[in-house]
Structure 1
């Protein structure tokens, strides 16, 4: 009786008319087999030869039996080698007790035990001697008679034949439908051609290889109608007609390359890589008053560009619209076979496409990354497939969000008022993907029943977005860095500037005391030199761009550094009766290799703070001394700044070095400050890899100690004094005669006085042009050098230097030209070098540097 029921169901399977009837019949067959065998589960695994896996496509479970189809969608052939080999021979598997096959088929044993299977019947599904899958029966409770097992074998063979026959029938129907559609498309193309021709004043069929032309349409108003006797149905020479038309009617300024663009060679080359060729030009008005035209050229076949269709249409209204609106016109798209173009475009945008039936929870793969825009034949449970796609492609951090997006149980509700929804995610291969659901079909109530799931690559778009964001962020950081750097430098300039203003006032009040004036002038020069260093640092374009300080170590005298600070913070400048003392002691190595400017900035800011927060008649002390570092070529330079001021609260000491930080205290509310001084100190100390410590109590004063390790330089007695070299340079330059190109009379007066004090005479040229004239008319050897300003009227210093080097004067190539200018950027130095200048000095002029440079060129 059981055999008869199974045979009866095989007949029902045979009568299935479509894929869904077949699936229902197969599901019934599994239930019958399960009932006949009193088994827990009956299932079908299809063999995927491409991926070498068995895929679970059907499953029936008995009462209270947990389904496995969602947990075990596929099994790799490597996990069941024994069964695969037996199935390929056509053998069935009959296992009464899985423990009996533990050693015979260890991989299969693990799979069976994992599913709590104690006995098993499995038989292959065949079609024309090709394995298509197998049917498995878990834990059957029958005596497996030979006739029943044979019947199951027949079931496998019959099932394979029915499924393959139905697949081939559907494929045949698809091909018939495609053929019918091709015929329909051909008729549509003919209709399109007829409609398309209405847009053209003339249409020609051209054989480029044979240089022949046949008119298909020619409006009597067209200019071409008046060339010879051009009529439809006749053949003409293409190149000859194009040449005559160009010479007689085309306005040459509008299309100078008319014959080149419309030549047979150019058209074929262009159409080899492009779908069409368009070209606009203007002609003398034809009989209808039309003067703007566009030629459009299309190949008859994508495989060959030798036979083309050329249409000429007038575009006067189009051109007029472009001129009036000043916007570029979008060229009209050519009508063609839209279906194939759309499919081709979609395949380039979306690398995978799935059709999903939400009512059946079924998917069918339309396109994948390895089989483009055609049915792959893969199908299965849609909800399980979406989970598989998520775990297979999506990086772990995006998986929870994408699983929610892939939840098909809520997709109908999410698409209730929308036609499409999308979400981006990062894939395991490092690329960005955009996943999208698109409504394909709704029922009568508007509920979504069928959808498309598509995926496309958007890495380039994401990179552009991130690139723009990064550029904007970098630009903001650069602006912030510049503002911060300039704020710091402006803060540090105020201290030496105070000294300059103070000593200038003292000198003005001491006009009757030459020694006092001389003392003030010396201190003014010291403070001015400090300001010059700070300004040079501000003009350092590298610091300005990145907003960070950079160390520039050079030979630095510790005693001179202390002397400069003493001048800047001279007791005479303090009007509140402070007692300021400087003590530089135990300096055994006066010459060190360090950034002297940065050290001055550190000490100046700390001294300035102590002075600001110490009441009148208080004490401020600066102590600088050396500590030995055994076994090292460095010394530890220790600076101690102490005061008897208001002190610092313990809770503020932790943040006192933060930018724009000021203590909230009524004692300092009247003291002006930016909150930058201590932040600058901390940044510079860290930059020089030093340490800074603070000892302070409210009302008990403050002691700040800065320790920085610096290399020392040992110099012999002759060099340490530097007098020998300086005297030699001065003596070499005595008697030199210079030509000075300087448009500012006051600047020339300063230069001439300084040169005269050192035994050097000079003549002035008011601008670059005068300088060139004076030099060109001078006798050989008249001038020992030229001091050249860069920015001058009539002719600048760069142009003047170029002109001098090109003169035939005996000294033109050898005379030293030294630029003296306020322009100190790297690009200015390069311009001077290219113009033929020998050296470059920045303003304000350092006469010692100038004399040292001149001494090198003394004949």
Structure 2
């Protein structure tokens, strides 16, 4: 496609700057039937011959006056492969004897190009210059040529594509009809009509669904204001016959203050473009549906994979912990520790993949509960204390806050800090230092506190080039093979998404060989006094003895049932195991009240799952049986699974593979509360 901006520039240079007709090379681009409209002196030309004749006459009148233009601004609008608009503005200077400026005009132009006989041609030139009183007696033409006021009716079109063209004078409210095709109101055959008739035409031609927006667009009381600083406005609309039209509005005339006082409206058929647009929108909609289904299928696969992997993982971790109690040989203990570490790494990878799947699906939500500032960092540091000790890394933790009691999604906060502290220890060489600094920043939001957590290490650091991509998916500066440090490249992306979910921010400073500093700043709601006191009192309650307590275990996996039974018996419980939800409900129904102190209920079981079994138990007639504490025990580790558990009035939720120390804490809490 040709360079329309360059052709437009050459066209302007031709009629403003040429001294002789020999320089009018632009005529090759002018269609024989081009319509040329100039305002200010109101010049109109029937065709190119008319224009060139006038141009020759103008050369004689100009004498020692030549025209220059400055500050040319050109915009381009490709309508389709048959029609292109260029429009813009230019400062016109009339120079006498090449030294003395005798005029300065601020002008606007619109030029329409179209294909004629296989070649691009200029179909219409519209040039707008404000009237200047002092120019009324000038002998030379101001715009495109000689004044031909009487030739207005001979202007046939802005171009073959346009079926309706009119000039609207915004002050007098008059409409001057330049062109209309069949299908428009017969009353518009007259040269001038009232602006209300124009609006009435719009109202009758346009489909009902488009009328309100169309009348807003064609609001002639506001259109001048909307055109300020713009070269045009456009509006696609549907007619009552189902066809689509495109209306273009350009400033036709401005006053000495630069205010638009008349506009040019051109309307053309837009049906084919709209049809393609609707087809593209439908294709995009179908593509979106397809992508959503694919994403849903991926999420379902990952969720199912999570359950299927966690079930055998529970057996691996459980038997490993049972084995540890019996081992005395240092070499075998080392082997057991390696199995446990590898299991935890595998579980971490599974959690990361699933967390990202949930973030991408938009299902990730906050689940805020009471906590104390610094407790999560203390818990995470404790989890990595052994690894830091093994590498002789100094692990420091400082907490300095005024408002200690907050509401926070503890699980997500724990994952944020676990990823960052784990990386700090992982990438810090032996005898290095890792520091976690937690402090409260000034914050003016009532009822909230702003907590900043810095994780600083003296590790290997990161290059400046890598930092911009740090939080992208699957991104690592050194892969596992090169660095010998395992990881998926998901941890930082998860951290960033969780921090964003909490309306917080994360920043990183790093230098190769000098370590890294991650700064997380998150606002937290301050826990109210009653909530705080209740939690403090519950945390101060005395310990509980499990000896003699009876648990009914509903678990369909034999290995998991064996492991859980063994661990519970070591805690002091008496345990009876059943294989599905039906057997669990039958056991509670047929045994005397208070036979069992608590039920550990697996979720995915044959015949009847844990949710249905809990529902049945909660609706038993005997209150002692209906209100028995029930703890979910599932390989599904997602928030909606926990929500389902609480919706059927389960008391708590434990995920597999089971951390038996955490399970012991949950059992104590539930039994203490019952």
What's the TM-score once normalised by structure 2's chain length?
0.46
Rg: which structure is higher?
Answer: 1
More strand by share: 2
TM-score (norm 1): 0.38
